[in-house]
Each structure stands twice: as C-alpha cells, then as structure tokens.
Amino acid sequence: MPYKVIEDSPADFRERLFLPEVIRGVGIIAKQFWRNFFLQRDPNPDILLRKTPTVTIQYPEEKQPYPPGYRGLHRLVPREDGKPRCVACYMCATVCPAQCIYIEADEVEGDPIEKYPKRFVIDELRCVVCGFCVEACPKDAIRMDTGEHAPPTYTREGQLLDEKALLRGAPVSYQYDPWLRRGATAVDPKKLEEMRQRAKPFPAGATDELSQTPGFSVRQLAAEAKGRGA
C-alpha cells in the first residue's frame, strides 16, 4: 500500500508555538508516572513472569535474571591442590583485543616442563567482555561464569584484579591434565593420586568450547534457540 504524501506547507502560528506537542509530551510523561506510581509489580516470582503495564523493578530486592550466555566477571579456575589451572601459555593475553591481560610466567619447582603464572592481572576497565580469553584457553583455566559485575571502586587500581582475587570457585580436574599424566614431581604422590581419582574424563565427542566452558557455548545457545524455534 503506497504512503499518502502530504504537502509540505508552512507552519501556522499555532504550530510555531509548539504548544500542542508540549502538552502532548507532558501528558505522556504524566501518564507513565502515575502508571508506575500505582501499578508497581508484585515481588512474587509468579507475578513477575506476567506482562504488566510497567517495567519498573525494585532493584536490588528484585533483579532481572541474566540470559544463559551472559559473561560475568572473570575468575581463574583452581586445581584440586589449590593452584590455578593456568600454565602461562599467553593464549588469552595474545587473543585479547583490548590487551587487558598481563601475565608473568615462572617455572614450577621440581618440574622442568610445567609453568605457572607468577602474576596474572586483568584490567576490568579495559575489558570489552568479548569472551575470547575463555575460548582461547586450552586448559579451562579462565571462565566468565560468575554472573557478577565488576565491583565499584574509587580508583583505577581497584579494577586491576590479580591472581589472588581471580582464583576462586570449585576445583576442576581432567584426566588429560599434564600435571596428572607426567607425574608432577612438585606434587605430593598421595595428593596426586587423589587428584587423579577426582579428575573427570574429557568428553571425546564435544568441542573444546563446549567441554571446557560449561554455561557459555555459542553452539549450545544456538542449539537451544533452534529447539525453541527462534
């Protein structure tokens, strides 16, 4: 259907005063104000799922749930012995487009092959939350599954999170971890055997992205969207 073309005629005196549009704008603001004032949403979870005339939520008592693919604050995944899974390969720092990751590598005492991050610092102010570091890591050493925002600070230095602040969460071990297969002379033999028993098998039919970053996988999210018919 073609649009009706209206001739561009000069504005009359009433239109040049802008009074009709000003009154209409004030009416829209007043309507939304009284709607939010009298029609606040019930904090009941069942009510929150319904479509209501207002979108105002009572934060922080009421929070909007994050989507499954939300990338939260970084964390370093610990091993069973409490050390970070990171082997200081610089893959995350190399792939980072914002260059916000700084790593200093050092050798593990008693192991001429294995390395560990002597320093691991992330500048959260420079991070663009792309998730490339998570996908590039070959050891599942860094994740963005915390569901948290960067904490507010008064100084820029407060946004520089080091390995002590990043290392948290449940420990993770895989059967193909190099420190479990080589013997890791720096680890006590009894502790090493316990770590081997708790290690979970690496899924043979899964991609690195899906198996190493549970909760964040582009393929998994695409499959879920396809199942919903999106």
How far apart CA 230 and CA 222 sit, in angstroms, is 9
Q: In percent, how much of the chain has pLDDT > 90? A: 28
How far apart CA 129 and CA 140 sit, in angstroms, is 17
When comparing pLDDT for 53 and 173, which is higher? 173
Q: Please report the pLDDT score of residue 210 as a whole number.
A: 45
Q: Please report the pLDDT score of residue 227 as a whole number.
A: 74
State both tokens at 2. Answer: 């073609």
Q: Angle at Cα 190 formed by Cα 189 and Cα 192, nearest 5°?
A: 60
- Give the lowest-confidence range in 61-65, 94-98, 115-119, 125-129: 61-65
Give the count of beta carbons closer than 10 Å to the beta carbon of residue 87: 21
| 75-217 carries CATH number 3.40.640.10 | no
Q: Domain spans of the chain?
A: 24-57, 75-217
The answer on pLDDT for 54 being more than 70 is no
The answer on pLDDT for 117 being more than 90 is yes
- Mean pLDDT value of segment 79-84: 87
Q: Is 148 left (phi over 0), alpha (psi -120 to 50) or beta?
A: beta
When comparing pLDDT for 48 and 123, which is higher? 123
Summarised one tens digit per residue, pLDDT across range 194-205 is 778 777 765 555
- Give the lowest-confidence range in 56-70, 179-193, 197-211: 197-211
- Mean pLDDT value of segment 131-152: 88
